[in-house]
């Protein structure tokens, strides 16, 4: 799935979900390369709901959202589809 981010330095997030509901192959397009690679590695193989719980609501500096928060929102959107 590809998710267009809002309010962050990254422009989009790409990810897959396994048949058993685990997040994999996360890639942030744009943004801080080191942080986005770190987040992607940390959530690899985690259940969707666990990723959402851990990342939703994280802000970045003065922004009301962040790349991790946007990943949580993307996963929520995926669950609804």
Q: Coil, helix or strand for 14? A: strand
- Digit-coded pLDDT (tens) for 34-46: 999 999 999 999 9
- Digit-coded pLDDT (tens) for 26-76: 999 999 999 999 999 999 999 999 999 999 999 999 999 999 999 999 999
> Is residue 14 a contact partner of residue 26, using CB atoms and an 8 Å limit?
yes
Give the sheet arrangement for strand 23-30, strand by strand.
2-4, 10-17, 23-30
pTM: 0.96
């Amino acid at each position: 799935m590809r998710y267009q981010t809002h309010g962050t330095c990254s422009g989009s997030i790409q990810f897959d979900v396994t048949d058993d509901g685990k997040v994999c192959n996360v890639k942030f397009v744009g943004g801080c390369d080191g942080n986005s690679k770190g987040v992607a590695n940390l959530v690899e193989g985690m259940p969707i709901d666990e990723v959402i719980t851990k990342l939703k609501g994280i802000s970045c500096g003065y922004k009301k959202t962040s790349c991790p928060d946007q990943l949580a929102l993307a996963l929520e959107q995926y669950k609804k589809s």
